Chains A and B, each alone.
Chain A
Amino acid sequence: MPILVIAEHDNSEIKPATLPTITAARTLDRDVHVLVAGENTQQAASAAAAIHGVTKILHCDNAAYANGLAENLAKLIVTLAPSYSHILAPASFFGKNVMPYAAALLDVQQISDVTAIENEDTFTRPVYAGNAFETLQISGTPKILTIRPTAFDAVRAEGGAASIETVQSAGETGLSHFVNQELTKSMRPELTAADIIISGGRALGSSENFTALIEPIADKLNAAIGASRAAVDAGYVPNDYQVGQTGKIVAPNLYIAVGISGAIQHLAGMKDSKVIVAINKDSEAPIFQIADYGLVGDLFQILPELDKALG
């Protein structure tokens, strides 16, 4: 049986988190199909068809899926489920929202946030904020998994030539209604897909300091900006900047933590980064225990120096 990947998209573009999910699906050596459900999604369906290693796109263009409402999308997934051995989605806010709803309708226990696929029924996932890893074996079909995007490489977004098959809408449930969205506008790379991230904590002291001290460095490094929960709660940056167990899980090549002490919950979101730099005035801060390079000092002196040193 083939594997179905539920694409996360904004109707025109396929979101980056979908690509590692396809890589995860391909480790099982079966045909991989991708569901693109939404409204006015011709462009997203074409983009999905070009993804390397995908054999078929299931395309469902209907107002019921315009805003990714979980109830409607889960119902559609349930109608498609009998043809698939595994159904995967990225463990983003999108995948976490819809997949358990579909799993319960199918009477299946979902496996969340998978970081390794051992074989078709054995998977590894983090528990306790990434302080332990559980390897488990599940029986029954289909297997519903959400995939931690940072744990798998992204598949190439081009070079594929999948067929596109139109599928029927499963109808509106009418249980929930979309009102509006307020997206944080940013010209920077998306946090979960960025090569370099510079994150600030409460020690920055204000929103103005974030702008004055962090942004110029992020500009020079083409980095995304992240934050600790303390910085978000203090209102220095919007909450979708938060890195951690309850925010976003990131694993960039370089993570620069500025004025972040390194609570368990923050580390859960970034400790798989390739290189970690910590800048903190407290030499005892837990962040130094996982940092590859640590610099003890006052961030108000260090950040302008760093900005200058980067030319």
Chain B
Amino acid sequence: KILVPVKRVIDAYVAIRVKADQSGVETANVKMSMNPFCEIAVEEAVRLKEAGTVTEIIAVTAGTAQCQETLRTAMAMGADRGILIQTDEILQPLAIAKLLKAVADKESPQAILMGKQAIDGDHNQTGQMLAALLGWGQATFASKIEFGDGVVTVTREIDGGLETLKLDLPAVITADLRLNEPRYASLPNIMKAKKKPLDTLTPADLGVDITPRYKTLKVTEPAARKAGIMVESVTELVEKLRNEAKVI
């Protein structure tokens, strides 16, 4: 049994707009999708099920009612059922990790497989925090996962190359981009996903305090780069780099 947390985020190909009052990023009428790293985690879980290693895949998410769509996407890819922890509050990684711990305590999965980071907050924390709260081992930035008897061997991406770790199960694994290529859900599978069970809970049901720990004071746009120039030839380029920019 494997638990796969997923997150609904602004689609990766959308150019985001900062709100004029600096309160955040515009999300109204913006295309939302499953976070790409979460898709990779779902895909890996489904492949493990297809290989007979995993018997049940539970997709879980925390957020507004619309996050149901993200769970349906996960189920269309092959997850067996979904759990929505519904709240309109802003959730920071520690709160999400606590909610996921509460779900893990109820469901007792042998592994939790999730994305290494969400492309909106770019925190890269939730998996590590969840492992710590559960007292489990972790393998982050996974590019290869092999389950054995009571253990999992994970190859992970590190700054200078690759590293392999062996963890006792249960464990938390976070997926990097190179783990796999997620499949597209077919129309029949999207239809079937509508009939799969989806439970809705609240943070209060789970007894978790989700009060934000930090306050966002403002959200601003990055400083714009000044316009560059086009050069006509390699000779001109090298001349500019030597004498104008003085970088070579």
Chain A residues with a Cβ under 8 A of chain B: 15, 67, 69-71, 74, 92-94, 96-105, 107-113, 122, 125-140, 173-184, 192, 196, 221, 229, 232-233, 238-240, 245-246, 248, 253-254, 264-265, 271, 274-277, 288, 290-296, 302, 305-306, 309-310
Contacts and interface: CB of A to CB of B under 8 A. Distances in A.
B248 A309 contact: no
Nearest to B166: A177
B178 interface: yes
B217 A71 contact: no
Given A103-B94, A111-B214, A175 B166 contact: no
Nearest to A253: B247
B150 interface: no
Interface in B161-197: 161-168, 171, 176-178
Contacts of B130: 104
Interface string B220-240: 111001001111111101101
Given A108-B213, A135-B217, A239-B143, A233 B222 contact: no
Contact of A246 (B129, B140, B177, B248): B177
Contact of B129 (A101, A125, A140, A306): A101
Contacts of A178: 163-165
A283 to B, nearest CB: 8
9 contacts: A93-B158, A104-B129, A131-B15, A132-B221, A176-B139, A178-B163, A179-B164, A182-B163, A274-B247
A293 B231 contact: yes
Nearest to B234: A305
B219 A132 contact: yes
B200 interface: no
B219 A101 contact: no
Given A97-B128, A127-B120, A309 B153 contact: no
Given A254-B241, A275-B241, A294-B230, 10 more contacts: A94-B159, A100-B128, A101-B131, A125-B122, A132-B220, A179-B153, A182-B163, A239-B157, A292-B228, A295-B233
Contacts of B219: 127, 132-135
Contact of A109 (B94, B139, B218, B238): B94
A101 B217 contact: no
